[in-house]
Structure 1
């Protein structure tokens, strides 16, 4: 367990603050002379079949307006994102899942969007879509929902408007990001475009200072240049530039911007600002908590921590309700793990190591951390009734019926309260809150306590390459295995691993 030494912290706080301020001024003043420490994230190019599942009452699944698409219990191929619909030789290569919307990048470098558009996150006009209500004469078999069909424009993938022309040697999109109320893209020339808005506890916060409250089409973020990576939370964004300097903007009420926000200066949070983190090579964010890894492999965390989602406790190993980490703080327990990827939800976090292992920590209530009750570590925090509430200690997850069975993970994803891990040969394990069908394991009577392999007809012969998790839905991308013998051998292998 990680504990803070309060005396040491208090004794060094003033000196550290002065050094950071001095370092900040010196670094920014000589920024152009600094060497690059991180390269712009490489754009994905592998053509994928796209599968979606979960609850889509806000058009999250992109399966069209039929009311029957509001609940999809297991992964289903999205017919609007196939080569037949996108164009010959064109397929989706990357995507991002937000709270209630998604973005998908195709191999022609065009960006598609779908989902709820109340905050302008789709980057296109959906106001003229026809509204189809349920017919009074229709029987129950004709519709799965009393409210009728979905908004046609929001529930069907459409092209984002007014992005820079990528043809004739123009810059290409290399990363897409979706938060609850905002969308953003990073280009290979280091430029960032964003649209939508940021919200806070009181409601709408805005998009850019007091000048723009809601941005409905892509807008170039002029304060940023040479950006190498983006990371999005619930209502904030992080941007890492090639020099290893980190910027943050959006809502900072839980200190997810890494700095104190004064009410009289609240609109200044709507423009990117650095906050004293340098030599950073990787960034990640949950809804209200953030992570950064520096060039030496040290892991820093900040933001909301009441469930130990930052892997930090007080000197007594305790957690406090509403606990906040007000500035980036090194987490020694994470720095020792050789982490290559972090994905975080509302109150939990996953980390993938270079060895292909997954560690999990944070809230336990909805089983989002994937640790069976009998395997909970001694550090597990319990309430007054002895009920397990959270695990603040990074704990290695087990995939399959037996430990050390050779299963290695290549990528991870965390939704608000559900999680995924994809094996190196393309099977998906899921766990967490199950009422919305977001784990993709079909109708269940209770939440999924431990990593459970998704087995369904649509994806069983696909090697899943990418996966994303939103608020109550999920999305994956895979490549079909054409050799039936190879596909069957893979299924047999995992049936044995899972003890089936």
Structure 2
């Protein structure tokens, strides 16, 4: 690949499939089987099957290269791994990636076989595996006791929800004082069971907090609480030096939400410093950073307890992507909505300069069925059901490859030579501290 896509601030991950009639090679990912014949070791004329618990098997698994594409693009500054070198010099290919999540400087991918792969910076142990350097551009496997069904990433932590409901995490949280630790108060360089004996159905990561939903419809939180993102502590108790100490922050604890009788939480989402929950009746509850009105509440500042948001309720959201200043959402009908501060034209409302204090459609793509949405520091992105990608916002250096310059007021199709033979499947945004303008929603 000779061309690199870039975004003006932060970075994003794209998952694509190639438009080709050639049959793609099958996957050799390993979970509950021994190493296949393709990866047998040869000693003289004899073939040796390497068992999955053999240390040599782990080394082989960490070197797997397969087909399919996960594409990265960013500003390319020193705050991020050198994606440009890895994309230009070799094909960063992984077959059958079904989900991915991006931290501040690392990426976590999930295969259709339940394997978890990571690459990027290993700051605070965010990769969950041993690497010889500070960061790596070649994906490697994270060794877990069972297949995973969901992965998430924060600034310097990662999580995997296993098929049996267990949650394993690695890395560390941080707060305004620095390293906060993870579970035990220290960083974890390999996966640890978050809550032994407990079974969960969904997980989400903010920059430095985790939200979990168990099989009873109860929401749990842990991590940094300084912006109210845990939704269960008063302002005076949100710091590590409070009378409750770190333990009240790092132990998964239920969030008390006032709901209708017999109601349960159905879905959860996490922003950089905010949390969202939707109950079975379509009511949406929020807490955390609301300085820019991005939570949909009139009251600004920090929200420490769950509050219902009327403008977000009743849609039955498929996804909410909430950084700090704007959000992009889509509901079950797969239409895209926007909410929040209109900095850098990230709302896609054309010449309209006002902020969106109520949820509104993105006019240009109204009626277009979308499969995924994401936001960056100064841009918003939507992937359509047909594999096209729209983007809008600030494009000072023509990073979007739309043929437009500077501010892109309305959604425009990506038109890069690099991706002309591909269909877009997924896009993942960065929980960057400078990317918190609004939210984008998919209905």
User: Would you say same fold, with TM above 0.5?
Assistant: yes
> 2: CA distance between counterparts of 1:258 and 1:425?
38
After superposition, give the CA deviation of every residue in 1:169-214 in whole Å (9 maximum; x if it has no partner): xx32100101111100001110000001111112111112xx3411
| Alignment partner, residue 360 of structure 2 | 395
Matches within 5 A, 1:85-100: 90-100=95-105
Q: Measured at CA, do residues 100 and 443 of structure 1 come closer, stay the same or move farther in structure 2, by a change above 3 Å?
A: farther
Separation in structure 2 between the aligned mates of residue 417 and residue 282 of structure 1, nearest angstrom:
27
The answer for the alignment partner of 1:218 in structure 2 is 191
Cα distance in structure 2, aligned partners of 1:59 and 1:50: 20
SS at match of 2:125: coil
What is the distance in 2 between the residues matched to 1:206 and 1:175?
22
In the other structure, the counterpart of 1:309 is 294
The residue aligned with 2:123 is 118
Correspondent of 1:432 among 365, 384, 393: 393
Say which of 205, 208, 221 aligns to 1:235. 208
Aligned residue number for residue 51 of structure 1: 71
Asked if 1 retains the 8 angstrom alpha-carbon contact of 2:195 and 2:252, the reply is no
Show the counterpart of 1:157.
139
In structure 2, do the counterparts of structure 1 residues 226 and 95 end up closer, same or farther at CA, with 3 Å as the change threshold? same
**SS of the residue 1:399 aligns to:** helix
Q: 1:410 and 1:428, CA in 2 relative to 1: closer, same or farther beyond 3 A?
A: same
**Which residue, out of 278, 281, 291, partners 1:296?**
281
Q: CA distance change for structure 1 residues 346 and 369 in 2, over 3 Å: closer, same or farther?
A: same
**Structure 1 ranges of 4+ moved more than 6 A:** none
Measured after TM superposition, the shift of residue 463 of structure 1 is: 2.4
Could you report, residue by residue, the CA deviation over 1:301-359 in whole angstroms, capped at 9, with x for unpaired residues? 11111111101104xxxxx4xx1222111111111333221111132211102222211
Q: 1:212 to 1:289 in 2, by over 3 A?
A: closer
Pairing of 1:59-458 with structure 2 (within 5 A): 63=83, 68-69=84-85, 79-82=91-94, 90-126=95-131, 128-129=132-133, 153-160=135-142, 162-164=143-145, 171-208=146-183, 211-222=184-195, 225-261=198-234, 262=237, 263-267=242-246, 268-277=248-257, 279-314=264-299, 320=300, 323-372=301-350, 374-376=351-353, 380=354, 390-399=355-364, 406-434=367-395, 440-441=400-401, 446-458=406-418
SS of 1:79 mapped into structure 2: coil
Contact 1:112/1:159, CA 8 A, preserved across alignment: yes
- Indicate the residue corresponding to 1:494 in structure 2: none
Distance in 2 between residues matched to 1:282 and 1:62, nearest whole Å? 35
| Residues 409 and 422, structure 1, Cα contact 8 Å, conserved in 2 | yes
Query: How many angstroms apart in 2 are the aligned matches of 1:449 and 1:202?
Result: 39
- Per the alignment, residue 134 of structure 1 pairs with none
5+ residue gaps, structure 1: 1-46, 83-89, 130-150, 165-170, 315-319, 381-389, 473-500
> Residues 50 and 77 of structure 1 are in contact (CA less than 8 Å); yes or no, is this contact kept in structure 2?
no
Which protein is richer in helix relative to its size? Answer: 1
Greater displacement, 416-425 / 47-56: 47-56
Contact map agreement 1:95 1:105 (CA 8 A) in 2? yes
- Unaligned segments of structure 2, at least 5 residues: 1-66, 258-262, 433-443
- How far did 1:392 drift? 2.4
- TM-score, normalising length from structure 2? 0.73
How far the C-alpha of 1:367 sits from its partner, in A, is 2.9
Cα gap change, 1:436 to 1:338, in 2 (>3 Å)? farther
Larger radius of gyration: 1
Q: Is the 8 A contact 2:292 2:324 kept in 1?
A: no
Aligned to 1:495: none
Aligned to 2:436: none
TM-score norm. by structure 1 comes to 0.65
SS of aligned partner of 2:220: strand
Q: Is the contact made by 1:192 and 1:227 (CA closer than 8 Å) also made in structure 2?
A: yes
Give aligned pairs, total. 354
Partner of 1:28: none
CA separation of 1:242/1:415 partners in 2, compared to 1, >3 Å: closer, same or farther?
A: farther
Deviation at 1:254, TM superposition (A): 0.7
Higher strand share: 2
For the 8 Å contact 2:402–2:415, the answer to whether it is kept is no
Q: Which residue of 1 aligns with 2:419?
A: 459
Cα RMSD over matched residues?
2.7
- Work out the CA distance in 2 between the residues paired with 1:327 and 1:224: 27
Check whether the contact 2:114–2:148 (CA below 8 A) recurs between aligned residues: yes
Asked whether the equivalents of residues 52 and 78 of structure 1 are also in contact (C-alpha less than 8 Å), the reply is no
Whether the 8 Å CA contact 2:70–2:92 is kept in 1: the answer is no
Match of 2:430 in 1: 470
In 1, Cα distance between equivalents of 2:163 and 2:147? 6
